[in-house]
């Protein structure tokens, strides 16, 4: 708890604040009601004089906590940075008041004064975080998978000076690339296949004394978390080591060509692209008439719904090589779309120049045996309508299946005891064997790829410190996989550097706060261990939660989940927000001045609200906004606090959930919605309108829509009777 | 931003040099990302937040690198910072804008909107400070903004500043610009009002854009009922950009979504050569195909002409259906490709391929690194991924081993 007698309130009157509200009255609220040591007003706190004023008070020992009522914390962050010399809180009365309210109005002044009241109790409840640093953290990086991606990740981590433990299940390094003859071009002018140089990469890895290679190895168990992953594996002998972060680069398996019976996979002369590749590699002369069928089992709901990205280019490569090996050969390629993006277009153009290669769009290809020959028919071709090609060999270009999938894996639990994360483990190949309460493997979003789901943050899996790279993460070609691996190595390095500093990794990078559990009051309800989106909390045999703190992303979903409020952060806690809720000057029932409390996501709804202010849109003055780290941190105690303090309505403005979820903590807004629905049920039982609670999704770009949406809710609340608990 | 942040969070000091007065590049000007149709501002805000939390990154906006000398591990860069005429005391209160008597065409909105000569690029702008466009400002003769500013934030006599820094590695993340569609004569861009390019479409769909997010005809401001997307406008074409720009197919599907969402009765035509929706993007394409009002037509557009009512008439071959097709459209969006900006930011030490992308394979080991569209035509997620890789390559240049 910050010492309130050593807390200073600094109230800025600049940027129109002084024209909009009576700042001296705000100062009086801070001292008289907030009981802070003093409140100072200034016409431009962010100027040299204003900052010197605050720094002087800190230096003299007059204050150890500073509450600045001025602009949004999203600006002037560098100016109002006092490091560890004082607890700092910012109260936004510029964007949220001066820029969005009617100047001089009674309700405007009431709003600003309430924000001061809320700010004073907030800072009182805050403390400087004490970083959590695990004992004996390791900076070694474990890379799982010794193919192109894994080896590239290992080499690049080593080049930056990090020790690597490289784990490969096969007896040799190289992965899928070992099966290739020539490879796709990745250098200008991109016009011909290149020598397969996987051997060089293998040599580089073996020759690097920072990389310890484990061949023919199976992981037995990974326990701990970032900085302290304790790994045991065996490859004949048992080995154990500690790693700080993990790169998962286990690659893909080619789609099983045998499943493509509709494309004649069971007919003699019909081969998969992997088999054809080995024919070329072994120097077997290809037959005279070859037909390639692209998207064989890809872009197909019966097989792989997605596009595997590389089959177009690799089939063109095989067609080109077949023509080199047998200049008499005539090759037909039946495609749906030729997807040679970027510079691969140059190779496509080169292949198009070859008169022996005929490329045509064609749909619903059919393969049949006609005597000694094969026939392939396709519809809607470039030749007009249905066309039939005769062939000696048909090559089916099969797609990629992430190696994380193994349909034979079941989860040994009755259905009614299955949590979402248990279901997620069904069909997951046993690779990492994580000692996590939420299951042994990295969860995926869909289709088995342990991708982040975020366009802007591709590497964040739902297991902190474990970064997927290469084709296990997304279908991609080798040159993209190499860069992908280097990026994943970077994330792993970051993790091993940040954990020993006690810092959170992405997205709350550098946050030093962490959840603290008052275990003596724990009821072993398991909600925190179940709801943590990142599997950060283990359980002992009595279902006590065991937080593994370096796994924590600091979203505070556990804090929101806990029914007995035992999980809190030094600078973000249930009592803190609870005090804010109770701090306002609640108008009496007969005043007809309703009050609405809005919990808003700090990353999306809050900037949206501020942008409304920046664009000088009017925001309804009866609403007080409380930014949350994540909607997932919403604890139902706050709803109870709000209803019992007389708030007439409550809004929860988080981000979109569902398939295209935008919550950076994956499940935060979804969990808040579920929790709120329970309260709504309770309200109905208490004959209190459940419509008093609104849950909605707000995007950062919704600033124009947001004020109207808020007005709509306030109007609805105004039509109801006041909250009957007002004044109690 | 990604490359800078990834290196800084690991622990390195980074100087981030940006030519524009704000961070965020092209994506912050976009309405939505594909395939989730989520706003780029969301991820950008996270990056801003990471920057705010990280004093290891020195941000230099309005700045360009004038020269780089030295070698891996020991570069010296000279950075020129254009005068912004607004100093760090600016609070973006906006009083100056109210009194400024001059307007300028807003490059942030590709000229489709005006701002005052003193302006804030966007409500999300970082740094959150105004700038003056001196090419239109009346200078000290006017000085209205100087008079009204309470914070002594405007300095009309500000001069260019030169800064010299040392660095162990250089990351080129200079991005792209839309290919100049007026060079594709048969498509009528610049001649026909209702023919626009895909970055302009993003601004039309953006709430902070010229139409507050409403997609409207450019000649009369009426809602469109027929809209066409013309793929490979300048891409996969020896006379323009010979490579595939990778993203335009998906961008156009996204644009089809914008139109269909705003106008449920509208028809959208997409004229394409190959519809390239690699990987998991396939489902985004499929969803669009399920909409009976989005018509995908395989065929190259031969020409676009204006009819007497101002509509843009698209003539294209229809490869599958056979023959030619003509569609009169209220709005035509050219899916223009990405042209690397890298050549225009010379003189750097980088080497380019014939198309202007930085050839990193020749110089990565020399500490000259490229990422994002400076290195190839990539989408946002691939750019983010290879920018993270670029950060490690840069870290390696300063590593002792």
Q: What is the pLDDT of residues B77-134, one digit of tens each?
A: 999 999 999 999 999 999 999 999 999 999 999 999 999 999 999 999 999 999 999 9
Q: CA A680 → CA A223, A636, A716, A721, distances in Å? A: 40, 11, 16, 17
The domains of chain B are located at: 2-82+161-175+341-397, 95-148, 179-338
Using the Cβ of A481 and the Cβ atoms of chain B, whether some distance falls under 8 Å is answered with no
Cβ–Cβ below 8 Å for B9 and A510: yes
User: How confident is the model at residue A728, as a pLDDT?
Assistant: 65
Cβ–Cβ below 8 Å for A81 and B385: no
User: How confident is the model at residue B346, as a pLDDT?
Assistant: 59
**Partner-chain residue, chosen from A210, A361, A603, that has the shortest CB–CB distance to B298:** A361
Cβ–Cβ below 8 Å for A16 and B151: no
Contacts of A604 in chain B (CB under 8 A): 42, 45
Token pair belonging to A643: 């209803």
Cβ distance A504 to A511 under 8 Å? yes
Closest alpha carbon to B375 in B390, B395, B391, B393: B390
At a CB cut-off of 8 Å and minimum separation 6, what does B208 contact?
A701, B122, B123
Collapse the DSSP code of A462 into the 3-class scheme (helix H, G, I; strand E, B; otherwise coil) and give the result. coil
Cβ distance B162 to B64 under 8 Å? no
Choose which CATH entry (3.40.50, 3.90.1570, 2.40.30, 2.30.30) describes domain A586-728.
3.40.50
Cβ distance A475 to A252 under 8 Å? yes
pLDDT averaged per 10 residues, chain A (length 728): 92 98 98 97 97 98 97 96 96 98 98 98 97 98 98 97 98 97 92 96 98 98 98 97 98 97 96 97 95 97 96 98 96 97 95 96 94 93 86 98 94 89 92 97 88 87 97 94 97 98 95 97 97 96 96 98 97 98 95 96 96 98 98 96 95 92 91 92 82 95 97 97 84
Closest alpha carbon to A290 in A396, A402, A156, A379: A396
Cβ–Cβ below 8 Å for A342 and B400: no
Cβ distance A306 to A402 under 8 Å? no
Q: In terms of DSSP bridges, do strands A182-183 and A567-568 run parallel, antiparallel, or are they unpaired?
A: unpaired
Contacts of A656 in chain B (CB under 8 A): 38
Cβ–Cβ below 8 Å for A704 and B212: yes
Best probe of the B interface among A97, A158, A160, A381, by most B CBs < 10 A, is: A160
Contacts of A305 in chain B (CB under 8 A): 282-283, 286
Instruction: Please give, rounded to a whole number of angstroms, the shortest distance from the CA of A201 to a CA of chain B.
Output: 15
Collapse the DSSP code of B204 into the 3-class scheme (helix H, G, I; strand E, B; otherwise coil) and give the result. helix
List the CATH code of the domain at A1-128.
3.40.50
Q: B220: how many CB neighbours lie within 10 A of its CB? A: 11
Rounded to 5 degrees, what are φ and ψ at B257? -60, -45
Collapse the DSSP code of B153 into the 3-class scheme (helix H, G, I; strand E, B; otherwise coil) and give the result. coil
Cβ–Cβ below 8 Å for A509 and B50: yes
pLDDT at B362 over 60: no
Chain B residue with the nearest C-alpha to that of A48 = B89
Q: In terms of DSSP bridges, do strands B301-306 and B294-298 run parallel, antiparallel, or are they unpaired?
A: unpaired
The reply to whether B2-82+161-175+341-397 and B179-338 are identical in fold is: yes
Instruction: Please give, rounded to a whole number of angstroms, the shortest distance from the CA of B246 to a CA of chain A.
Output: 5
At a CB cut-off of 8 Å and minimum separation 6, what does B292 contact?
none
- Can you name the residues that pair with A376 across neighbouring β-strands? A367, A389
CA A235, CA A256: separation in Å to the nearest integer? 28
Best probe of the B interface among A490, A495, A499, A555, by most B CBs < 10 A, is: A490
Cβ distance A533 to A559 under 8 Å? no
Cβ–Cβ below 8 Å for A455 and B380: yes
CA B290, CA A539: separation in Å to the nearest integer? 46
The domains of chain A are located at: 1-128, 141-251+404-501, 256-402, 516-555, 586-728
Q: In terms of DSSP bridges, do strands A229-235 and A218-223 run parallel, antiparallel, or are they unpaired?
A: antiparallel
Contacts of B246 in chain A (CB under 8 A): 341-342
Instruction: Please give, rounded to a whole number of angstroms, the shortest distance from the CA of B289 to a CA of chain A.
Output: 13
**Partner-chain residue, chosen from B9, B89, B279, that has the shortest CB–CB distance to A309:** B279
Residues B179-338, CATH architecture:
3-Layer(bba) Sandwich (3.50)
Collapse the DSSP code of A154 into the 3-class scheme (helix H, G, I; strand E, B; otherwise coil) and give the result. helix
User: How confident is the model at residue A385, as a pLDDT?
Assistant: 80
**Partner-chain residue, chosen from A299, A341, A455, that has the shortest CB–CB distance to B381:** A455
Q: In terms of DSSP bridges, do strands B338-340 and B176-178 run parallel, antiparallel, or are they unpaired?
A: antiparallel
**Partner-chain residue, chosen from A16, A380, A454, that has the shortest CB–CB distance to B43:** A454
Instruction: Please give, rounded to a whole number of angstroms, the shortest distance from the CA of B249 to a CA of chain A.
Output: 10
Contacts of A402 in chain B (CB under 8 A): none
CA B334, CA B345: separation in Å to the nearest integer? 26
Cβ–Cβ below 8 Å for B45 and A700: yes
Contacts of A705 in chain B (CB under 8 A): 207
List the CATH code of the domain at B2-82+161-175+341-397.
3.50.50.60
**Partner-chain residue, chosen from B31, B123, B278, that has the shortest CB–CB distance to A339:** B278
Which one-letter DSSP state was computed for residue A569?
Answer: B
Token pair belonging to B2: 């990604």
> Tens digits of per-residue pLDDT, B306-360?
999 999 999 999 888 888 999 999 999 999 999 999 777 755 677 888 899 988 7
Contacts of A12 in chain B (CB under 8 A): none
User: How confident is the model at residue B361, as a pLDDT?
Assistant: 65
Cβ distance A195 to A214 under 8 Å? no
At a CB cut-off of 8 Å and minimum separation 6, what does A682 contact?
none
Which one-letter DSSP state was computed for residue A572?
Answer: B
Cβ–Cβ below 8 Å for B31 and A701: yes
How would you label A111-145 residue by residue, b for 16+ Cβ within 10 Å and e otherwise? bbbbbbbbbbbbbbbbebbeebebeebbbbbbbbb
- Can you name the residues that pair with B303 across neighbouring β-strands? B315
Is the dihedral angle over the CA atoms A515, A519, A522, A526 positive or is it negative?
Answer: positive
Using the Cβ of A92 and the Cβ atoms of chain B, whether some distance falls under 8 Å is answered with no
Contacts of A660 in chain B (CB under 8 A): 35-38
Rounded to 5 degrees, what are φ and ψ at A585? -85, 100
Fold held by A256-402: FAD/NAD(P)-binding domain (3.50.50)
Residues 230-289 of A with CB under 8 A from B: none
List the CATH code of the domain at A516-555.
3.30.70.20
Residues 524-553 of A with CB under 8 A from B: none
CA B314, CA B306: separation in Å to the nearest integer? 9
**A8 alpha carbon, distance to own chain's centre:** 38
Cβ–Cβ below 8 Å for B49 and A603: yes
> Tens digits of per-residue pLDDT, B262-319?
999 999 999 999 999 999 999 999 999 999 999 999 999 999 999 999 999 999 998 8
CA A300, CA A25: separation in Å to the nearest integer? 68
CATH class entry, domain A141-251+404-501:
alpha beta
Contacts of A308 in chain B (CB under 8 A): 279
Cβ distance A180 to A281 under 8 Å? yes
Contacts of B124 in chain A (CB under 8 A): 607, 611, 700
DSSP code per residue over B274-327: S----GGGHHHHHHHHT-TTEEEEES-EEEEEE-TTSPEEEEEE-TTT-SEEEE
Token pair belonging to A576: 């803190």
Token pair belonging to B36: 């989730």
How many helices (H) does chain B have, and how many strands (E)?
Answer: 8, 21
Using the Cβ of A44 and the Cβ atoms of chain B, whether some distance falls under 8 Å is answered with yes
Cβ–Cβ below 8 Å for A491 and B37: no
Best probe of the B interface among A13, A163, A252, A341, by most B CBs < 10 A, is: A341
């Amino acid at each position: 708890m910050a010492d309130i007698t050593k807390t200073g309130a600094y109230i800025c009157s600049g940027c129109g604040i002084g024209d909009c509200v009576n700042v001296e009255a705000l100062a009086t609220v801070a001292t008289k009601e907030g009981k802070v040591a003093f409140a100072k007003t200034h016409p431009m706190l962010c100027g040299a004089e204003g900052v010197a004023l605050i720094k002087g008070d800190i230096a003299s020992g007059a204050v150890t906590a500073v509450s600045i009522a001025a602009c949004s914390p999203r600006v002037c962050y560098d100016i109002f940075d006092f490091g560890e010399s004082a607890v700092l809180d910012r109260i936004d009365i510029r964007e949220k008041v001066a820029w969005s309210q009617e100047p001089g109005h009674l309700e405007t002044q009431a709003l600003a004064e309430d924000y001061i009241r809320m700010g004073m109790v907030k800072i009182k409840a805050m403390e400087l975080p004490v970083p959590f640093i695990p004992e004996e953290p390791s900076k070694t990086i474990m890379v799982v998978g010794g193919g192109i991606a894994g080896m590239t990740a290992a080499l690049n981590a080593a080049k930056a000076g990090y020790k690597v433990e490289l784990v490969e299940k096969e007896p040799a390094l190289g992965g899928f690339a070992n099966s290739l003859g020539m490879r796709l071009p990745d250098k200008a002018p991109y016009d011909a296949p290149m020598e397969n140089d996987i051997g060089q990469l293998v040599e580089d890895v073996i020759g690097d004394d920072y990389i310890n290679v484990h061949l023919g190895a199976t992981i037995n168990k990974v326990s701990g978390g970032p900085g302290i992953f304790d790994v045991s594996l065996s490859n004949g002998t048992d080995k154990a080591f500690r790693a700080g972060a993990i790169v998962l680069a286990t690659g893909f398996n080619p789609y099983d060509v045998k499943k493509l019976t509709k494309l004649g996979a069971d007919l003699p002369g019909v081969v998969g692209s992997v088999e054809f590749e080995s024919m070329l590699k072994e120097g077997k002369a290809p037959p005279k008439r070859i037909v390639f069928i692209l998207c064989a089992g890809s872009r197909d709901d019966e097989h792989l719904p997605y596009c595997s990205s590389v089959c177009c280019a690799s089939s063109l490569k095989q067609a080109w090589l077949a023509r080199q090996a047998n200049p008499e050969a005539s090759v037909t390629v039946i495609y749906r779309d030729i997807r040679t993006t970027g510079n691969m277009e140059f190779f496509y153009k080169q292949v198009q120049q070859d008169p022996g290669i005929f490329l045509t769009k064609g749909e619903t290809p059919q393969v049949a045996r006609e005597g000694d020959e094969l026939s392939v028919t396709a519809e809607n071709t470039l030749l007009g309508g249905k066309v039939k090609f005769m062939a000696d060999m048909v090559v089916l270009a099969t797609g990629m299946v992430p190696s994380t999938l193994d349909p034979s894996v079941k989860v040994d639990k009755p259905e009614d005891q299955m949590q979402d994360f248990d279901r997620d483990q069904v069909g997951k190949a046993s690779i990492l064997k994580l000692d996590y309460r939420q299951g042994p493997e990295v969860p995926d979003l869909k289709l088995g790829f342990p991708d982040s789901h975020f366009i802007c943050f591709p590497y964040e899996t739902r297991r902190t410190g474990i970064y997927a790279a290469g084709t296990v993460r997304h279908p991609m070609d080798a040159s993209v996989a190499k860069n992908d691996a280097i990026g994943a190595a970077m994330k792993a390095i970051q993790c091993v550097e940040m954990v020993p500093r006690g810092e959170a990794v992405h997205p709350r990078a550098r946050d030093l706060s962490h959840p603290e559990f008052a275990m003596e009051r724990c009821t072993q309800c398991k909600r925190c261990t179940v709801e943590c989106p990142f599997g950060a909390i283990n359980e002992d045999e009595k279902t006590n939660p065991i937080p593994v703190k370096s796994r924590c992303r600091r979203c505070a979903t556990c804090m929101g989940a806990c029914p007995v409020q035992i999980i809190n952060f030094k600078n973000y806690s249930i009592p803190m927000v609870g005090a804010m809720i109770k701090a306002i000057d609640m108008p009496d029932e007969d005043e007809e001045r309703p009050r609405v409390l809005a919990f808003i996501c700090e990353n999306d709804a809050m900037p949206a609200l501020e942008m409304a202010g920046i664009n000088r849109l009017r925001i309804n003055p009866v609403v007080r906004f409380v930014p949350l780290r994540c909607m997932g941190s919403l604890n139902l105690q706050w709803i109870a606090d709000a209803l019992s303090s007389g708030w007439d309505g409550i809004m929860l403005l988080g981000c979109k959930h569902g398939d295209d979820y935008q919550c950076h903590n994956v499940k935060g807004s979804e969990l808040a919605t579920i929790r709120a629905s329970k309260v709504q049920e309770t309200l109905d039982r208490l004959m209190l309108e459940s419509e008093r609670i609104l849950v909605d999704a707000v995007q950062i770009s919704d600033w124009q829509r947001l004020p109207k949406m808020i007005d709509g809710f306030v109007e609805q609340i105004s039509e109801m009777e006041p909250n009957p608990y007002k004044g109690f | 931003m990604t490359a800078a942040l990834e290196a800084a969070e690991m622990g390195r000091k980074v100087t981030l040099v940006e030519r524009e007065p704000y961070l965020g590049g092209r994506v912050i000007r976009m309405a939505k990302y594909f395939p989730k149709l989520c706003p780029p501002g969301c991820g950008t805000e996270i990056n801003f937040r990471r920057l705010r939390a990280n004093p290891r990154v020195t941000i230099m906006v309005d700045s360009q690198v004038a020269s780089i000398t030295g070698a891996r591990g020991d570069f010296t860069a000279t950075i020129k910072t254009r005068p912004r005429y607004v100093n760090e005391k600016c609070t973006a209160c906006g009083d100056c804008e109210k009194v400024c008597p001059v307007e300028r065409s807003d490059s942030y909105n590709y000229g489709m909107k005006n701002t005052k000569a003193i302006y804030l690029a966007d409500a999300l702008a970082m740094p959150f400070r105004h700038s003056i466009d001196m090419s239109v400002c009346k200078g000290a003769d006017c000085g209205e903004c100087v008079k009204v500013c309470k914070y002594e934030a405007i300095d009309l006599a500000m001069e260019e500043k030169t800064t010299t820094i040392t660095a162990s590695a250089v990351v080129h993340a200079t991005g792209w610009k839309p290919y100049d569609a007026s060079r594709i004569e048969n498509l009528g861009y610049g001649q026909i009002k209702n023919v626009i390019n895909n970055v302009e479409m993003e601004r039309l769909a953006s709430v902070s854009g010229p139409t507050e997010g409403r997609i409207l005809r450019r000649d009369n401001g009426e809602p469109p009922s027929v809209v066409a997307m013309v793929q490979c406008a300048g891409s996969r074409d020896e006379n323009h950009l010979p490579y595939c720009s990778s993203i335009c197919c998906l961008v156009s599907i996204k644009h089809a979504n914008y139109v269909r969402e705003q106008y449920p009765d509208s028809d959208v035509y997409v004229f394409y050569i190959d519809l390239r929706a690699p990987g998991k993007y396939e489902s985004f394409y499929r969803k669009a195909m399920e909409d009976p009002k989005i018509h995908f037509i395989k065929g190259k557009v031969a020409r676009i002409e204006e009819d007497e009512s101002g509509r843009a008439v698209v003539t294209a071959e229809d490869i599958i259906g056979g023959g030619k097709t003509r569609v009169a459209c209220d709005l035509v969006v050219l899916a223009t490709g990405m042209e690397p900006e890298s050549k225009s930011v010379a003189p750097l030490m980088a080497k380019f391929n014939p198309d202007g992308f930085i050839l990193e394979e020749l110089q990565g080991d020399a500490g000259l690194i490229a990422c994002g569209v400076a290195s190839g035509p990539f989408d946002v997620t691939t750019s983010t991924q290879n920018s993270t890789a670029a950060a490690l390559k840069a870290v390696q240049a300063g590593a002792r081993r």
